[in-house]
Structure 1
Amino acid sequence: MGKSESQMDIVEKSSRSGARRWSGAEIGLTVLVLLLSGAVAALLVLHTARESSFHKASVEAVCTTPGCVTAARLIQNMDPDAEPCQNFYQYSCGGWLDRHVIPETSSRYSVFDILRDELEIIVKGVLESEQEEEQDRDAFQKAKRLYQSCMNESLIELRDSAPLLELVSRIGGWPVASADGDSSREEPWSLEDTLSTLTARYHKKALLDMFVWTDDHDSSRHIIYIDQPALGMPSRDYYFSDGNYKRVRDAYLQFMEGMAAMVRADRGLARNDSFVREETERVLQLETDIANATSPPEERHDVTLLYHKMALTEVQQKFTLNGFNWTRFMQGVLSGVNIDLLPQEEVVVYGGPYLQKLESILQAYPVSTVQNYLTWQLIIDRVGSLSRRFKEARANYRKALYGATVEEARWRDCVRYIQSNMENAVGALYVRESFAGESKRMVSGMISKIRQAFIETLDELHWMDQRSKEKAMEKAMAIKEQIGYPDYIIEKGNPKLDMEYAHLNFSELNYFENILENLRAGAQKSLKKLRERVDPELWIIGAAVVNAFYSPNRNQIVFPAGILQPPFFSQQQPQALNFGGIGMVIGHEITHGFDDNGRNFDRDGNMLDWWSNFSASHFKEQSRCMVHQYGNYTWRLAGGQNVSGISTLGENIADNGGVRQAYKAYLQWVQKEGEELRLPGLDLDHKQLFFLNFAQVWCGSYRPEYASQSIKTDSHSPLEYRVMGSLQNFGAFSEAFHCKQGSAMHPEEKCRVW
């Protein structure tokens, strides 16, 4: 939630997580070579249909090291009948798509998801290890205790709704689940106090979002932000549109009705279906009005237009919200961390248009409906930590939303929860178990090469003047990098890791309460930063993550240990594959510093216009080409909807720039080190292998229900178009595969920003 969403990642954040271990045992590798050599031979027989790609290469030019025998994986993923110049995604991933079926528990299945699944297996192993507690550091003990409380299903079933009923009572009741809609509060209900409780105690942002983050105009300090909230359903389209969106909306209402009826029954109240239906329908109408008041992503694309700094007194004057006391609300939020508002406290308002519309919405509904809405927003997030019957009440909604028909294994849910809430503890356990530290040095060297390639590429840009190029070079040189993991998490004598969790006390018997404690701790951790200087050394993500990130406020790129593995990276695999894999990811994250959002920030992470009018105007012109290109891609799985060229622009710019810079850096590496040997079974040269691995890291498929969601919520284009769009714009690809101009992969018109 909040400003952290501005961090750019290489792939959509997902609840799926996992990783592949790369064994370096000499005997094991020898066996692997023999096995894979046999696999390659078998595959050669099966794939003779495409002589140009799959006929046997000359023995003298073939690399037979263990790392090179990964050609078996490359061949298996390919479609021998597809023409690379017509559909390079099908050519590269057709075999993968044929062999992989989306699991019943999943809404999407991709190379990323496989790596995350495998990483989760590793994390499960270390969380379940029986190392003596006195030999385990405090942070690890707490992570394991939290995991054990999550896995204690019999006790969760025994406690049933008791924790939920206590939570509802603690926040002032749930009128729809009370007699005649009475919340049974002795004192008058206060919107300000309720919202401050939700924000400070339960880290829940409903009706409006208040959070503490780096000041866009001063990257050394933190400031309060006010923004529009997230919604109960994934995007505003679910509240208005037909088709699958209506099916999800109907299931959402049914879910709300079912939960209210269950809570009423558990409180000993008489069944009253008509009352529950009327009240929940009114809540959905309120939520629909809130969704309608929020600005769509396309209108929130320019962060310079979102940012409005003002004194708290001005906030009170501009956004009265039917008598809402902003000082009471904010002081209530901050009181839990012992911070007092200043007489002229500054606030950044991101959601001005929404707040202006909110006043009339609040006037149109009774207090009971608003209270029902806020309580529902808190409850919906807690269903996963309750007994089976509550999850069953949610099942139809999840099926309509994701298309998945089966719940994940309990241990996976538990691993993901611990990963998300104790990132550094889990990161330390993962790194200690399976990460090769030498990778940090090698990836650092690749970053240097690709950064230099970006700088050299600036000379090719005719749309940018010299002064702006110099500023861009300065920013690129100033980008800070974090690779693998922060050193302190594996240093036995360093108390910093244990201190991060010193305030947490978990019980193996009370998973629900452990979650509430985590929510409060997370809220306090964020709010405490208001009077603290920004820590430039702080990691924005844990080590056990298969992803990569760029932070515009820090001008920093991060490559966690979880992504530094095949097919992205390996010390053993050919450099063509490394540059096409992790090299493109590195270029992608560097380019985020210069996409439509990142370009608004300077080398120090401050929002500052360092562009000349000439260059800024031409940047927008170059970008419009990509908006049009990607906006014309029609996604069949999403009901024939078009990709949003505006919402995906930043990621598309990063994809295009990333593959271009990585390729340039790889050619420079080849010029210095010499051409690499061909891989067994593949008559592809080193340039073609670069593009092949680039495409194959994006192999994946979606369920239609999830496609309908991601086309509205994901800032990335669908996997297929990430590959197709980037390579259609890159002449070097067409040269490598001898594509004729005018073919699908070598169109007449090409788009280029960086």
Structure 2
Amino acid sequence: MGKSESPLGMVESADRARQRRPGFLEGGLLLLLVTAALVALGVLYADRRGIPESQEGSEVCTTPGCVMAAARILQNMDPTMEPCDDFYQFACGGWLRHHVIPETNSRYSIFDILRDQVEVILKVVLENSTAKDRPAVEKAKMLYRSCMNENVIERRGSQPLLDTLEVVGGWPVAMDKWNETTGLKWELERQLALMNSQFNRRVLIDLFVWNDDQNSSRHVIYIDQPTLGMPSRDYYFSGGRDRKVREAYLQLMVSVATMLREDENLPRDSRRVQEDMAQVLQLETQLAKATAPQEERHDVIALYHRMGLKELQSQFGLKGFNWTLFIQTVLSSVNVKLLPDEEVVVYGVPYLQNLESILDTYSARTIQNYLAWRLVLDRIGSLSQRFKDTRVNYRRALFGTMVEEVRWRECVGYVNSNMESAVGSLYVREAFPRDSKSMVRELVGKVRAVFVETLDELSWMDEESKEKAREKAMSIQEQIGHPDYILEERNRRLDEEYSNLNFSEDLYFENGLQNLKVGAQRGLRKLREKADPNLWIIGAAVVNAFYSPNRNQIVFPAGILQPPLFSEEQPQALNFGGIGTVIGHEITHGFDNSGRNFDKNGNMMDWWSNFSSQHFWEQSECMIYQYGNYSWDLAEGQNVNGFNTLGENIADNGGVRQAYQAYLKWMAEGGKDQQLPGLALTHEQLFFINYAQVWCGSYRPEFAIQSIKTDVHSPLKYRVLGSLQNLAAFADTFHCTQGTPMHPKERCRVW
């Protein structure tokens, strides 16, 4: 996927957590123990917060789902904390006290536990060999078995990687197959095209196909600045811990190159390897400096530059780089020809302006070393253990982790990422209640209605812009659970998705290369295809949610529709405080600092009046300042980047406000909610506690520092504190007096 959608959060982390689910007998015993504990502990909490008379008659729910929900909430809380002082600690203090970050993890949170539970289910269904499977599912199981086939992977050693490097012209530092003749024949255009179309590595120049921002019904070629080997540009030139990460990254390059030289029976030549890799790091450092910082790339209108190939060539000559040759070579992999009047959209204008001098500075050998290194870095995890061991120091510096993920989790995650529709079909059949779709669709309708109604409260927006906002909100399409076709046995679409894949149980490395090639070419092939408005942008077995600005679409995969976010068996206060706030979050993404640039049809268009646009930014500045003043001790006291996180903060604030109003409206219209056993909490208090507990989690310091640099979401506790400090209804619910941390004198509100 080229352009990123707006996720709920934490979708990128490759680290996984551990959580053993109780068996049937264990669960039954647990219910008895929990019920007894709730009676005792509930009385303790009842002394602090009484239930108002209006709710005293509410029915107490004692079903297994309610008892487990009550136990979860109580165990996660720290009732000794004053909710008006630090509501995150009040709601999550028990969770933080009882959960230690596993050695394999850089972060451990409620979301990670939910992902663990999904992975346990996927392990079972992927290892089930008794069923007669359709082709797509059989291929997913074959890919999983090849990943689990450690003996073969160990026996093959580095040979699969060496064979692959031959295809891309070798890795000069490790293979000594570079001389003057090689350099003369070497063409950057063809090398970049090969990396893009065959290995899905968009290095030096990011070329991809996606919906045209100005016309979402068609696709267009985008040219942008690339990703880098390390997660953030700051790691390349900042001091402190960044220097340690940089040193570990260089050592990783040197170690892998040295190992491959040994496998090729070449002399170690430590000095030459060190010099070559130092040059590669220097080149990548210059590329990092050439890229625009994240905070300068939020305005999609400013990023968007449409031009023909002649203008592209004249503006960005790059010392003779042939753009037509590069683009046509990429497209030739899917038998697509450039049109005479083909236009491209350039996002990375400042980067391309800086790239020319960089290409002029470094030799073809150094650039080839860099291109090959980026492929090697991507494939280390598919090799034998001795190659994985070279990453230990780098991963420790970057994530704070010391231990590799257990093999089956790594394999489950890999197969789910690469065959999400096939794996999603297995998950849905095994674990997704069919009634959930209709229940969540009702919640979407209730939260959306509140968003539209509360537009009338906004004095900063004029009526003309409000009407456009109403139209856009009512036009948002929702996708819930999974696409129907993945369960339809007679529908061949699922099998056709993977028709170009032909896996072998003994060739895990090559299976991975097939996935890279098919993934790259699936995207490129869209160039001449009309955009499918019903296309799912993510698989079903995913614990996350998304908003797509080009489709004006919100997506809630089956994986996220589980407790504590959603359950048919828990009170509605928890559902509104869980998945309800997620629904509001995704709806609000359509109106954040990025989504606001797209209209109801997903086309980039300025539908705002000057008055409303100016006041939108004035309202936003309040949040930029608010979150930018949160100092995170775990990240060496660095402040949250209020500008980088603005879109997610706007969505968090809007989401909890809309979901709470929707819950109150539901009750006012006759909805009868239940009390949880042993908890003397009002329905409204339960709403806010469950909202906060969705975000319970801990970070390692190293990952906290990385998150400050790279994550567009605020740290977990500030997502809770920031949004609730801005909501007067929260302070009213917990009787917080003005001047306490949770009832500040000044509040921010955009939506």
In the superposition, the TM-score normalised over structure 1's length comes to 0.96
Shift of residue 2, structure 1, vs aligned partner: 2.3
Partner residue in 1 for 2:488: 491
User: In structure 1, the residue corresponding to 2:373 is in which secondary structure?
Assistant: helix
Q: Contact conserved, 1:173 with 1:183, CA < 8 A, in 2?
A: no
Where do 1:633-648 residues align within 5 Å? Answer: 633-648=630-645
The 1-side partners of 2:546 and 2:629 are apart by: 27
Partner residue in 1 for 2:76: 77
Q: Contact conserved, 2:5 with 2:546, CA < 8 A, in 1?
A: no
Shift of residue 240, structure 1, vs aligned partner: 1.1
Partner residue in 1 for 2:112: 113
Indicate whether 1:460 and 2:489 are aligned. Answer: no
- The code of the aligned residue for 2:119 comes to E
Partner residue in 2 for 1:224: 221
Where do 1:61-460 residues align within 5 Å? Answer: 62-69=60-67, 70-132=69-131, 135-179=132-176, 182=179, 185=182, 188-460=185-457
Q: Of 645, 653, 663, which residue of structure 2 is paired with 1:666?
A: 663
Shift of residue 62, structure 1, vs aligned partner: 3.4
Partner residue in 2 for 1:695: 692
Where do 1:491-510 residues align within 5 Å? Answer: 491-510=488-507
Change (3 A) 1:509 1:58: same
Shift of residue 49, structure 1, vs aligned partner: 10
The 1-side partners of 2:415 and 2:468 are apart by: 42
The 2-side partners of 1:73 and 1:171 are apart by: 53
The 2-side partners of 1:73 and 1:186 are apart by: 63
RMSD, aligned CA: 2.1
The 1-side partners of 2:451 and 2:23 are apart by: 33
Change (3 A) 1:332 1:740: same
User: In structure 2, the residue corresponding to 1:51 is in which secondary structure?
Assistant: coil
Structure 2: which 5+ residue stretches go unaligned?
none
Change (3 A) 1:166 1:186: farther
Change (3 A) 1:44 1:513: same
- The code of the aligned residue for 2:66 comes to C
Change (3 A) 1:236 1:721: same
The 2-side partners of 1:215 and 1:21 are apart by: 45
User: In structure 2, the residue corresponding to 1:381 is in which secondary structure?
Assistant: helix
The 1-side partners of 2:342 and 2:367 are apart by: 28
Q: Deviations over 1:278-334 (max 9, x none)?
A: 111111010000000000001111111000000011100000111100000001100
The 1-side partners of 2:616 and 2:183 are apart by: 60
Shift of residue 434, structure 1, vs aligned partner: 0.8
The 2-side partners of 1:217 and 1:442 are apart by: 35
Partner residue in 2 for 1:9: 8
| Residue correspondences, number | 748
Indicate whether 1:37 and 2:35 are aligned. Answer: yes
Q: Contact conserved, 2:652 with 2:723, CA < 8 A, in 1?
A: yes
Change (3 A) 1:478 1:58: closer
Q: Contact conserved, 1:175 with 1:183, CA < 8 A, in 2?
A: no
Shift of residue 271, structure 1, vs aligned partner: 1.3
The 2-side partners of 1:670 and 1:701 are apart by: 35
Change (3 A) 1:445 1:513: same
Where do 1:539-618 residues align within 5 Å? Answer: 539-618=536-615
The 1-side partners of 2:738 and 2:310 are apart by: 62
The 2-side partners of 1:509 and 1:521 are apart by: 20
The 2-side partners of 1:302 and 1:167 are apart by: 39
Shift of residue 678, structure 1, vs aligned partner: 2.8
Q: Contact conserved, 1:89 with 1:720, CA < 8 A, in 2?
A: yes
User: In structure 2, the residue corresponding to 1:382 is in which secondary structure?
Assistant: helix
- The code of the aligned residue for 1:68 comes to C
The 2-side partners of 1:182 and 1:388 are apart by: 32
Indicate whether 1:532 and 2:529 are aligned. Answer: yes
The 1-side partners of 2:474 and 2:662 are apart by: 16
Q: Contact conserved, 2:60 with 2:675, CA < 8 A, in 1?
A: yes
Structure 1: which 5+ residue stretches go unaligned?
none
- The code of the aligned residue for 1:735 comes to D
User: In structure 1, the residue corresponding to 2:669 is in which secondary structure?
Assistant: helix
- The code of the aligned residue for 1:97 comes to L
The 1-side partners of 2:457 and 2:718 are apart by: 25
- The code of the aligned residue for 2:2 comes to G
Shift of residue 395, structure 1, vs aligned partner: 1.0
Q: Contact conserved, 1:120 with 1:412, CA < 8 A, in 2?
A: yes
- The code of the aligned residue for 1:368 comes to R
Shift of residue 547, structure 1, vs aligned partner: 0.3
The 1-side partners of 2:179 and 2:165 are apart by: 13
Shift of residue 21, structure 1, vs aligned partner: 12
The 2-side partners of 1:319 and 1:721 are apart by: 42
The 1-side partners of 2:146 and 2:184 are apart by: 36
The 1-side partners of 2:48 and 2:175 are apart by: 73
User: In structure 2, the residue corresponding to 1:67 is in which secondary structure?
Assistant: helix
The 1-side partners of 2:505 and 2:167 are apart by: 23
The 2-side partners of 1:197 and 1:747 are apart by: 56
Q: Contact conserved, 1:451 with 1:477, CA < 8 A, in 2?
A: yes
Indicate whether 1:654 and 2:651 are aligned. Answer: yes
- The code of the aligned residue for 1:701 comes to S
Partner residue in 2 for 1:511: 508
Q: Contact conserved, 2:17 with 2:108, CA < 8 A, in 1?
A: no
The 1-side partners of 2:261 and 2:21 are apart by: 53
